[in-house]
């Protein structure tokens, strides 16, 4: 009789042990070390105090946008130099400063009065600059290791989206796109007339 009790308790505890193993073995395997993320930290989007002072002291909107573009172009040139010298942290720092200046310029453009052609002209100046910067960012990205290239690609896309925003500013909400009111048959009748 004692023998049957031992077998019965062994038989009853076996499913408990199997359940324990089924639940906790995968959890123990999940705690194995995982590969470390190989991406460099994002570049800090910072406008220096001197640059901010220069931007705030600009006499009008045109001077401010022109100064923003010049400062951003300087940071882009510095990023190119750092990349060619394989100083990728310095290049990332310059890229972050570029990013901050262009973001600030686009934000400033939203505050410019829509009356007249001044806003349109400023957007056009910004769009032309961003168009010229695109291939330069692509060159930097190709010469940069993958852990930094991720952020360069993001800045490149940001500049492309800035161009799109600038181009979209030329169109108003009142622009109506569409075809003509005539049916294809009416067009053919007009063409058939002598």
Global pTM value: 0.67
- Extract the tokens encoding 165: 């925003």
Concatenate the DSSP letters of all residues of 21-89 into one string: HHHHHHHHHHTSPPPPP-PPPPPP----HHHHHHHHT-SSHHHHHHHHHHHHHHHHHHHHHHHHTT-HH
Digitized pLDDT (tens) for each residue of the chain, 194 residues in all: 555 555 555 555 666 665 556 666 555 455 544 444 567 788 888 899 999 999 999 888 899 999 999 999 999 999 999 999 999 999 999 999 999 999 999 888 888 877 777 888 888 899 899 999 999 999 999 999 988 888 889 988 988 888 888 888 776 555 455 555 555 555 555 455 55
What residue ranges do the domains of the chain occupy?
49-168
């Amino acid at each position: 009789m004692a023998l049957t009790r031992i077998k019965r308790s062994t038989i009853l505890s076996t499913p408990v042990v199997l359940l324990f193993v089924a639940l906790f073995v995968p959890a123990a395997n999940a705690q194995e070390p995982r590969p470390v993320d190989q991406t460099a930290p994002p570049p800090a989007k910072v406008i220096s105090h001197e640059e901010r002072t220069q931007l705030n002291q600009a006499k009008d909107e045109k001077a401010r946008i022109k100064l923003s573009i010049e400062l951003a172009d300087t940071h882009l040139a510095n990023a190119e130099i750092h990349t060619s010298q394989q100083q990728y942290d310095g290049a990332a720092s310059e890229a972050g400063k570029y990013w901050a200046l262009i973001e600030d310029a686009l934000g400033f453009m939203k505050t410019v009065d829509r009356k007249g052609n001044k806003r349109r002209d400023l957007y056009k100046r910004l769009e032309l600059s961003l168009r010229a910067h695109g291939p330069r960012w692509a060159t930097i990205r190709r010469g940069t290791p993958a852990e930094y290239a991720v952020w360069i690609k993001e800045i490149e896309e940001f500049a492309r989206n800035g161009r799109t925003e600038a181009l979209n500013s030329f169109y108003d909400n009142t622009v109506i796109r569409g075809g003509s009111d005539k049916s294809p048959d009416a067009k053919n009748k007009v063409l058939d007339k002598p």
